[in-house]
Amino acid sequence: MKAVFLFNFAQFVDWPAGAFPDSTAPLVIGVLGDDPFGPYLDETVRGETVRGRPLAVRRYQQIDEVRTCHILFISASEESRLGNILDSLKHRAILTVGDSPAFAQRGGMIRFVSERNKIRMRINVAAVEAAQLTISSKLLRAAEIVSRGEP
């Protein structure tokens, strides 16, 4: 289910023009650390386009491997390094997504929360704006808005 959310985020977020090397470059969804999706993420985006751009999936083990990326799922395996990871991504137009406790309060942009067998989202709007991204009001209405440091 989270793989589908990542694909849908591509449709509800706008990136600055400079986030793409050219007009035909793919929108890249990355996974940093242990991959909880297996083949499902690849299957979800295969053959899909968003605003005329193909989608590509890339997997990374270290944050310094992340070059061109637009949506980055930061696995729970990276929790001990989360502060450093988010600091290194500051001011880059990358939508950061995770499901670690307090992910959004620590500066991540979207945290998945499982409640009563449903996936909910917590969004840190300040972190999104700092990266010069724009999230559709439709996505914001479906989420809980949190601030950095807020419980």
Q: Which domain holds residue 115?
A: 2-146
| φ, ψ at 120 (rounded to 5°) | -115, 165
Phi and psi torsions of 117, nearest 5°: 60, 20
Query: What count of other Cβ atoms lies within 10 Å of the Cβ of residue 146?
Result: 21
- In this predicted structure, the answer to whether residue 151 has a pLDDT above a threshold of 80 is no
In-domain check, residue 71: yes
pLDDT in tens, 13-56: 999 989 999 989 999 999 999 999 999 999 999 999 999 999 99
**The domain that contains 132 carries what CATH number?**
3.40.50.2300
Strand runs (DSSP E) across the chain, as ranges? 13-14, 27-32, 49-50, 53-60, 71-74, 95-98, 110-115, 118-124, 134-135, 144-146
Residue 74 included in any domain: yes
Domain for residue 151, yes or no? no
How does pLDDT run across 51-99, given as a tens digit for each residue? Answer: 999 999 999 999 999 999 999 999 999 999 999 999 999 889 999 999 9
Neighbours of 151 (CB within 10 A): 6
Q: What total number of domains does the chain contain?
A: 1
SS3 23: coil
